[in-house]
Amino acid sequence: MTSVKLKTLTPVHIGSGRELARDVEFLQWNNEIGVIDEKKTLEIIGEENIGTWVAIIESQEPLLNYLTTIKKNLKLMDVCKYTMPLYANKYSQTRTLKEQLRNGTGKPYIPGSSIKGAIRTALLNIFL
């Protein structure tokens, strides 16, 4: 399999079709968003507090408030699979996040079909 490295000129989003819910599947902290890793979070919360975790989710309370009371100096990566910078202030209160398509190791990737479609669109724009 050939591997190609691309440098994008603008932000690119190729979604997996899955929407993540705030404080259930992703967290926002300052200018960063992280997708929750349930195993890491459970290690911090402890099995004896699973009921509290579920109650927080059901009541839609901010999960970070609870996590920071349990672990002082908590970093987002302590409870997340991966994090990414948040550049747009207007999305700071979003309730859902569209998930980026990722490969088997969790890294974002652009499928060949998307590249082919982009090239086809560029060529059609030139000739039409």
pLDDT of 1: 67
3-state secondary structure of 71: coil
pLDDT of 15: 85
- Separation of alpha carbons 4 and 42, rounded Å: 37
Give the model's confidence band at 60: pLDDT under 50 very low, under 70 low, under 90 confident, else very high.
Answer: confident
Summary mean pLDDT of the chain: 86
* Window from 2-6, 23-27, 66-70, 82-86 with minimum mean pLDDT: 2-6
What is the 8-class DSSP label of residue 21? E
Nearest to 66 by CA among 83, 77, 82, 50: 50
Q: Find out whether 101 and 113 touch, Cβ atoms under 8 Å.
A: no
Query: pLDDT tens across 85-114, in order?
Result: 887 666 666 788 888 888 888 888 888 888
Could you tell me which residue, 8 or 39, shows the higher pLDDT? 39
Other Cβ atoms less than 10 A from the Cβ of 33: the count is: 22
Distance of alpha carbon 74 from the chain centroid = 18
Could you tell me which residue, 92 or 82, shows the higher pLDDT? 82
